[in-house]
Amino acid sequence: MIFTRLARKNGAASTLALALALTAGGITGATVLDTPAHAAKKEKQAKPSYSKAFVAAYKPLEELAKAEPVDYAALKAGFPTLLAALENDDDRYAAGSFIYSNAAKQQDQAMALQGMELMLKSGKVPAENVGQFNFVAGQLAYAANDYAKARPYFQAAADAGYTDNDPLIFVAESYFAEDQAQQGLTYLSDLINAKIAAGETVDEAWLKRGLAQAYNNNLNAEANKYSSWYVKQYPGEDSWGDAVAILLNTGGYQNPEILDLLRLGKRVGVLRDGKLYLEYVDAADYRRLPAEVVSVIDEGYAKGKLDKTDPYVTDTRRQAAERAATDRADIDKLMADANKSGATLATVLAAGDTLLAMDRAADAEPFYAKALNMPSANTPMVLTRLGIAQFDQGKYAEAEATFNKVEGARKAIANLWAIYATQKAAGGAM
């Protein structure tokens, strides 16, 4: 799952495969009624008590089922008579088993579901099979697009302790299939939160599915939440690349915010294409942060993401390099001016921004700290850049604490920075 700038996917990700257990050896019950003589030979156990009417209706159908080849149309035509003869739960279980088994062989999903439902309603399903039977009933209802019916069966399967095939994820999938993305994401989020609270690993497929659903349905807050979960649980090029691209696509940000988000993408190494590098160049602006523009363009060249013959890129780099040389010559004076007690906010921020762009994070940090206490400071922006300056020095715990103070529109950007700082501190980051 790769999200790139301005490349919102058309349609949701592929739904999870339905492995319908509709084979002759899948789930079977008592498809052949015991005769009294046969039953007497069994060890002591609870004997089914079939009604006379049911046995009379069943026997002709049993013979039809034994024929080769089976005339399924004739067999199915007799099912209503069999159902009309039901008098007790033993009848229901045996009829359901017979109908399910024969319908399953013919891939008649609607009739197989009816048989499975009869078995479950009978109360005669062995305790160890209740979860599996409910799961199959859920799959059959799901395959018939009856999602409202499928949900309680999947839930019942999980409640009975059935864990194969992740029955609970199908509850979320049933909402997605009905185009109820928010309901599905809410349900899936509850599952994920429970896993996290229990200290368990969340299935990557859950996170990717939720992320795709949120993104493709323009549920931006949900997309950011799933992005954060994804990079925390499965840090890597795919998860981090998705997180940066999705936030860039959905945040509605202006250049100052885009710059700090793409700074993260550059440090993680997930700027995927030339469009992102060019967006970074525009956000940094060669007139404001020429040293950083040169660095970004050179990285784009080195990674083959930018065309060295593109006149826009080559001309921008040339002008940026000239301005960067001037900035380096003037930086000591700018720092001195910014350190004065009467320095303006603009001067202090200019010093911090210029130094950060020159990879002089240790020198930039005190200017951002000073700007925080000045009137009219854009606190979220200053905190973000203070955190970046701390991060670039390897002061990950301090950076994380700083990022966690950011509020407002930049909070999602700072949250990703904080996650990456935590991963770097633990030595597990890219």
Nearest Cα to 369, choosing from 354, 352, 355, 356?
Answer: 352
Residue 157 parent element (H or E)? helix 147-159
Q: Please check whether residue 114 is in contact with residue 130, taking contact to mean a CB–CB distance below 8 angstroms.
A: no
- Cα–Cα distance list, 263 to 287, 304, 387, 412 (Å): 18, 19, 12, 14
| DSSP, residue by residue, 13-74 | PPPPP-----STTSS----SPPPHHHHHHSPS-PPP---HHHHHHHHHHHHHHHSSS--HHH
Q: In which residue are the tokens 């930049």 written?
A: 410
The pLDDT assigned to 3 comes to: 57
Task: Give the C-alpha separation, 159 to 274, whole Å.
Answer: 50
- Looking at 142, 161, 180, the residue that finishes a domain is 161
The pLDDT assigned to 4 comes to: 52
User: At residue 335, does pLDDT exceed 50?
Assistant: yes
The pLDDT assigned to 17 comes to: 25
Percent helix, percent strand, percent coil in the chain, to nearest 5:
70, 0, 30
Task: Give the C-alpha separation, 34 to 108, whole Å.
Answer: 26
Q: Are residues 421 and 283 in the same domain?
A: yes
User: At residue 25, does pLDDT exceed 60?
Assistant: no
Residue type, 129: N
Q: Please check whether residue 192 is in contact with residue 209, taking contact to mean a CB–CB distance below 8 angstroms.
A: no
- Looking at 121, 138, 161, the residue that finishes a domain is 161
Residue 333 parent element (H or E)? helix 311-339
C-alpha neighbours within 13 Å on the C-beta side of residue 244: 29
Please give the residue range of the domain that contains residue 345: 253-426
The more confidently predicted of residues 396 and 14 is: 396
* SS3 state of residue 36: helix
Does residue 91 lie in a domain region? yes
Task: Give the C-alpha separation, 302 to 325, whole Å.
Answer: 22
Q: Please check whether residue 94 is in contact with residue 55, taking contact to mean a CB–CB distance below 8 angstroms.
A: no
Q: How confident is the model at residue 37 (pLDDT cuts 50, 70, 90)?
A: very low
Q: Are residues 317 and 422 in the same domain?
A: yes
pTM score above 0.95: no
Q: Are residues 417 and 288 in the same domain?
A: yes
Q: What is the CATH number of the domain that holds 379?
A: 1.25.40
The pLDDT assigned to 165 comes to: 85
Q: How confident is the model at residue 2 (pLDDT cuts 50, 70, 90)?
A: low
**pLDDT tens digits, one per residue of 51-74:** 999 999 999 999 999 999 999 999
Does residue 239 lie in a domain region? no
- Looking at 103, 129, 161, the residue that finishes a domain is 161
CA dihedral 385, 387, 391, 394 (to 10 degrees): 130
**pLDDT tens digits, one per residue of 403-423:** 999 999 999 999 999 999 999
Does residue 135 lie in a domain region? yes
- Cα–Cα distance list, 76 to 14, 79, 81, 110 (Å): 34, 5, 10, 12
Task: Give the C-alpha separation, 396 to 402, whole Å.
Answer: 10
The CA angle 128-130-134, to the nearest 5 degrees, is 145
Q: Are residues 276 and 415 in the same domain?
A: yes
Residue 251 parent element (H or E)? none
Residue 17 parent element (H or E)? none
The CA angle 181-185-189, to the nearest 5 degrees, is 180
**pLDDT tens digits, one per residue of 340-397:** 999 999 999 999 999 999 999 999 999 999 999 999 999 999 999 999 999 999 999 9
Q: Are residues 269 and 376 in the same domain?
A: yes
Does residue 196 lie in a domain region? no
Number of domains in the chain: 2
The length of the chain in residues reads 430
